[in-house]
Amino acid sequence: MVFYWLKVIIIQKEEANIVTNSLSANEKLLQVLIHIAASPFPLQAQQLSVEMNMPISSLYRYLALLRDWNLIEENHGHNTYSAGPAALQLQRNFQINSPLPDGVRPILKRLQQQTGEMSAYMVPVGFNALCVDSIDSPYALRCSYEKGQSQPLIRGASAKVILAYLPLSRQLRILNHYEITEKEQLDAWLTELDLIKQDGFAISTSEIDQGVSGVSAPVFIGNKVAGAVSVMAPAERINSRKNKIVMCVLQAARALPPQH
């Protein structure tokens, strides 16, 4: 355990240097774009600077470049930034050329029919888990999983099952981003993630929406985690049919991701 924690400490220090000093200008530019895209509301430059721990002078250079290419737009009246019209080109290209939109939906639909509950496919994007697609349950469900919406990569079964299969260095970078840095905190998190890997799936309750449970399994490309397929439902319905739902989710995960 001592040697394990020495390894963790060394990796933490390396990751801190990577985050603060070694990101290229292109990577920082993409960070700004993704941060704006992930926000549910327009962001002010000062807020971006604080949230990204980036000097305001550097941030304004990136914002100007993204604005010139119409990847973001500025609301001068409110001094805020949001996604720009060029994002439509990215969306259209994704819908036409990616195997995900057409390939994921049939599997999610089958999973929804097998379980009777909402199903979704999530992928890691930066420090978040992004919902690529979802199929609603016929039952009313107050759930935050919607296509195009993202959640922190530390909350909910989908996020945790992805996080569990990422390399340790990236796990520590993500945990550090969410200010999980104390030894006791890290010990608890790494233990939980290790248990998820042992089980091969994750279950959570009320971590995103009160009273809603999620069952998630990882999706791989080769040995690399590519995303997670999940079922969401009220906790009592998950608990009453947990074994069946877990089996269906694991089967769906093995059928993903779709290939051209």
pLDDT in the model for residue 16: 45
232 has pLDDT over 80: yes
pLDDT in the model for residue 192: 97
Same domain, 126 and 221: yes
- What CA–CA distance (Å, rounded) separates 99 from 209? 30
My answer on whether omega of the bond before 257 falls inside 30° of 0, hence cis, is yes
- What CA–CA distance (Å, rounded) separates 75 from 164? 39
Q: What is the pLDDT of residues 5-59, one digit of tens each?
A: 444 444 444 444 444 445 688 888 988 998 898 888 999 999 999 988 899 999 9
pLDDT in the model for residue 5: 44
Under the banding of pLDDT at 50, 70 and 90, the label for residue 144 is: low
Under the banding of pLDDT at 50, 70 and 90, the label for residue 259 is: low
Q: Is residue 190 part of a domain?
A: yes
Q: Is residue 145 part of a domain?
A: yes
Q: Is residue 94 part of a domain?
A: no
Domain range for 158: 100-255
Q: Is residue 197 part of a domain?
A: yes
Of 100-104, 168-172, 200-204, least confident by mean pLDDT is 100-104
Strand 212-221 versus strand 202-205 pairing type: antiparallel
In angstroms, what is the C-alpha Rg of the chain? 19
Q: Is residue 114 part of a domain?
A: yes
Same domain, 116 and 76: no
Same domain, 84 and 108: no
Last residue of a domain, one of 89, 117, 142: 89
Distances (CA, A) of 84 to 19, 81, 88: 27, 9, 8
Give the CA-trace dihedral at 130, 133, 139, 141, to 10 degrees. 20
Same domain, 79 and 176: no
Same domain, 119 and 228: yes
Last residue of a domain, one of 89, 120, 139: 89
Please state the domain count of the chain.
2
What rounded mean pLDDT belongs to the chain?
87
Q: Is residue 260 part of a domain?
A: no
205 has pLDDT over 80: yes
CA-nearest of 259, 255, 218 to 109 is: 255
pLDDT in the model for residue 23: 63
Same domain, 60 and 170: no
Average pLDDT over residues 82-109: 87
* Alpha-helical segments (H) within the chain: 2-17, 25-38, 45-52, 56-68, 87-97, 100-115, 157-164, 168-177, 183-199, 235-240, 242-254
Same domain, 209 and 105: yes
Q: Is residue 164 part of a domain?
A: yes
